[in-house]
Structure formats: structure tokens, C-alpha cells
Structure 1
Amino acid sequence: MNSFLRIRKDHIGGTLLTLTGLVCVSSGLQYHTGSLSRMGPGFFPVALGALLAFVGALIAITASGQGASDDAAKEHGHRLPEWRGALCIVVSVIAFVLVGKFGGLIPATFAIVFIASLGDRTNTIKHAVLLSLAMCVVAAIVFSWALKLQLPLFAWGA
């Protein structure tokens, strides 16, 4: 039982990522994978699953036994999970969908980056705005100009 308590969340998370990646590889191999020049329907799931399994294995292998944040939390008696970041990410995705539908790509990108960046307690409003504006420029260049995405940059009242 004592050895089970030594297992940290990074070990568990890395193992779960590895298992998920291996399941994706196994499922993708049921389809024709093809080659790099003529990819089949199973190529993408196999490639992403293998990458996910590799990253998960790296996380599990390099996970330290006990981090400094765990020590500080024990000293102060805090062991509650951090919900702010997760809540901000979920809300930002919902905001992206709603604002993207009614406002366009630029307002939706600003909304998702701004709200998600507020999930980090060390971020200030100023940094969140600057990051959001920078990502709006990147989104306009990549998705509108380079990829010719059919989502309009601005669509107020559409």
C-alpha cells in the first residue's frame, strides 16, 4: 500500500496517455494505413496514436517522485485540486463556438485565448490581452490567408 502512495499523478497521466495511444494505434491498424505518399484511412490514427504513446511514455519515465508544489501544499495543508484552469479552458471552448458562429474568427480567437489564459493565476489581464491580440494576428494569417478557411474574420450580425 505504501508503494502505491508513492506513485505520482505524472506517472498515472503518462501511463494513461500511453495506453490511449496504443489503443488508437490498434484501432488504426484495422484500416489500410498505406504509405507517406499514399496515405490510407488508418495512417492518421496510427501516426497520432504512436506519437501520443511516445509522449505518454516520456512523461511517465521522466516524472519525478515529488515536486516542490507538492511539498509546499503539504506544508500549508492544501491538497485541493486546481479547478480554475480547467474551468477557464472549458468556458473558452464554449465561447469560441458561440462567438465564432456570431462574430467571426478574430473575435472567437480573442475570446478563446483570453479566457483560457485567465486560468493561469500568474497571468495578468494585460498579458492575457496581449497574448490574445497576438494570436488573432496568427489566426488571421494562418487560417484566413494561408489555409483559406471559410470562417469570416468578422461576421457581426450575420
Structure 2
Amino acid sequence: MIGLGIAVVIGGNLYQVGSLSRMGPGLFPIILGVLLALMGVLIIVTAKTLPPDEEGDEMGPPEWRGWACILGGLVAFMILGRYGGLVPATFALVFIAAMGDREHTWRTALLLALGVTVVGCAIFSWGLQLQFPLLRWG
């Protein structure tokens, strides 16, 4: 994470940075790169200060269901965003990704997807005036 953060900061410096009142295209990547590198440092510091596990560092098998649902949600967002708009894309992304958690039922995933869709569409469409149609036919 530290290496990737530093690489993003270096890449962001290739663009005009500007100032906070007049941001250039390089400012946002630089901020994200710095935050990513700081998170990497924070992970290292907290990992060294945590007490060792009583049961050892045995890891279970990978959670393939979670991986598949998260990736499936992203693919659904890309396809539905292109052909259906922000509302169905957001709903599908959240619903499919939530089904990757074994503790979610289809009802809780449905409620979560509805809530995130309403709030997300309000923020991105109305608040930020993102040029992404809410519904697209065809």
C-alpha cells in the first residue's frame, strides 16, 4: 500500500496540481496517494503493536462466495450502468455484493440495496449533479 501510494503521488505530479480553491487534475490523485501511503504505515504500526493471536495465525480457506459476489456486483454495475442507468446499476451492485456475506438474507440485502440506491442517487444525481442518467432505456 505504501508503494502504490507513493507511485500514485508521483503519477499525480505529472499533472497540474493547482490549489484547493482552483484544483488541477493532479490534486485528487495526490491526496489519495498520500492517504493510501499513510494507511499502509498505519497498518504496519498497528500490526506490530497488536498482541499475537492465541490460536496462531492459521487462516481458513478463501471466501470464494464473497469474492464472486463482489466481482459480480462490479460487473453488473458496469453493464447496467451503461444500458440501464444509475438506479438499476447501484441497486444490482449493492444487492449482489451483500449476498456475498453469509449473514445476509435476501431480505436484508434487498433493504440495504434499496437504502443505498436512494441515498446514492440523491447524493450523486441531485447533490453533485453527476452527468449519469438515473434511468436509461435501451
TM over 0.5: yes
Equivalent position to 1:27, from 11, 15, 37: 11
Q: Is the counterpart of residue 103 in structure 1 residue 94 in structure 2?
A: no
Counterparts of residues 77-156 of structure 1 (less than 5 Å): 79-156=60-137
Identity %: 49
Q: Give the superposition deviation at 1:102.
A: 2.5
Q: Give the superposition deviation at 1:67.
A: 5.0
Q: Is the counterpart of residue 49 in structure 1 residue 10 in structure 2?
A: no
Unaligned segments of structure 2, at least 5 residues: none
TM-score by length of 2: 0.82
Compare 140-149 and 25-34 and name the one that shifted more. 25-34
Question: Could you tell me how far apart the structure 2 residues matched to 1:23 and 1:46 are?
Answer: 10
Q: Give the superposition deviation at 1:79.
A: 3.3
AA in 1 matched with 2:88: P
Asked which structure has the greater CA Rg, the reply is 1
Inter-CA distance 20–72: structure 2 relative to 1 (3 Å threshold): same
Unaligned segments of structure 1, at least 5 residues: 1-16
Structure ranking higher in helix proportion: 1
RMSD over aligned Cα atoms: 2.4
Counterparts of residues 2-81 of structure 1 (less than 5 Å): 17-63=1-47, 64=50, 66-67=52-53, 71=55, 74=58, 79-81=60-62
TM-score by length of 1: 0.73
